[in-house]
Amino acid sequence: MSNKPLHVVILAAGKGRRMRSDLPKVLHQIAGKSLLGHVVDSALELKPAKIHVVVGHGKDLVIDSFAEHACNDRLNWVEQTEQLGTGHAVSQALPFIDSDNKSANVLMLTADVPLIRSSTLSAMVSAMSSSPLALLTALVDDPFGLGRITRDESGAVSGIVEQKDANSEQSKINEINSGIICADLEQLKIWLSQVSSDNVQQEFYLTDVVGLAYAAGNPIAALHPDNNAEVTGINSRLQLSQVERMFQAEQAERLMNDGVTIMDPARIDLRGDIDVGSDSVIDVNVVLQGRVRIGRNVYIAPNCIITDSILADNVTVHANTVIEGSELGAEVNVGPFARLRPGTKLADKVKIGNFVETKNAQLDVGAKVNHLSYVGDATVGRNTNIGAGVITCNYDGANKHKTTIGKDVFVGSNSQLVAPVEIEDGATIGAGSTITAKVEANKLAISRGKQRQIDGWKRPTKAR
């Protein structure tokens, strides 16, 4: 890594017309994070002095999207009022880089290349120790639409020719420009001052600095990424979907290398900060998003969505279960078709069955809610059993109220617990009861209308 201070300039001003969207292109997402967000996070790993983001179309939306970013104070937003080319965009950011610090390096990135790795960028910055200019290139089978790298007889990089300006011979070159360049600050200022708009698009190309550096006799370092997916740009919805699958394949490979079994790597989506323990199994169509921590030997069945949650070792999540903002202890068993909403905390060996919904509920060790029940704003004690169709009536139309259920309680099916209410240890609630007052320990509480049988009853029949 070079000893010079590093400034990063990210080009994010374009509209992205081929996306056919009112949303700025750089805010479209890969794995739940904006394209710009991916690039910013990779740049942050280099610990730059500052990141200068050049914005234009939809600038307010772009800036607002980073209001909650942990490193927002490291970002400097630079407006490009007229889109006159990439060279012009970079020149708008240069005045914000400390002009007294003449030894700085400037790393220039594009916001629509989201898979770039910080390790690749670090290698580029390191190459600056022996050259005033470094660029990232790639060898591709189909270079159409991309800038071509030209080289002289000795093989040294001599320039970059854009697709629209390339002649027939240059169009055959399959080494392309990634759009990622690193340059010495003072040299970059000189080169950009010499860039003209004498080209087909009448724009100031950043890529022209390569030819200017070569003409001045400067050595140019050219590096390649380990995987060409890193430099895949996004200009359309099709390319967005293709890069999404590239990213997901990479994430699935990472988990499998860590000892996780993924039943079909093509049918899993990881959208956030995901960590999964070894010997866990993830079946098809599972979505993990936000910050998810999954222990060892966990099984997640098909069609589950897990968001911002923690699952301890040996948890089983059956099919079609949705878990959000929850914590599951060891050997918990959930689903199928369960929904755990934020604030749910399940201690070890808790059982949540099919079509059960919980919200802001804490269940102690061994508690069971097997089917068709709602438990919200409640605490449930150890080894308590809640039968089918039980509802904690926690909302009075204006405020939420708490239900407190002790240990070893049995709540019969189709009962309503009207909060605020407490059921003490060992109590039993008869099926079909509506409980509105405290139930004392080890007592049986029943609240039902008296059953009657009516003689002479005739069932209604349809009129002819």
**Averaged pLDDT of the chain:** 94
CATH 2.160.10.10 fits 248-445, yes or no: yes
Tens of pLDDT, residue by residue over 186-238, are 999 999 999 888 877 888 989 899 999 999 999 999 999 999 999 999 999 99
Among 38, 88, 318, 371, the active-site one is 371
Buried b (16+ CB within 10 A) or exposed e, 306-343: bbbbbbbbbbbbbbbbbbbbbbbbbbbbbbbbbbbbeb
Percentage of the chain exceeding pLDDT 90: 83
Give mean pLDDT, residues 40-59.
94
Q: Which residue has the tokens 């809610």?
A: 369
What CATH architecture does domain 6-231 belong to?
Alpha-Beta Complex (3.90)
Number of other CB atoms surrounding residue 103 within 10 Å: 11
| Reported pTM | 0.89
Instruction: Give the residue among 389, 388, 346, 383 at the shortest CA–CA distance from 368.
Output: 383
Residue 2 pLDDT:
61
Residue 371 is a catalytic residue: yes
Q: Is the pLDDT of residue 269 over 90?
A: yes
Percentage of the chain exceeding pLDDT 70: 99
How big is the CA angle at 314 (ends 328 and 426), to the nearest 5 degrees? 55
Amino acid at 141: D
Residue 99 pLDDT:
62
List the chain domain ranges. 6-231, 248-445
Residue 100 pLDDT:
62
Instruction: Give the residue among 304, 305, 286, 294 at the shortest CA–CA distance from 248.
Output: 286
Q: Are 231 and 113 within 8 A, CB to CB?
A: yes
**What single-letter DSSP state applies at residue 185?**
H
How big is the CA angle at 324 (ends 322 and 326), to the nearest 5 degrees? 115
Number of other CB atoms surrounding residue 163 within 10 Å: 15
Which residues contact residue 453 at a Cβ distance below 8 angstroms, ignoring those fewer than 6 apart? none
CA–CA dist 252, 269 (Å, integer): 8
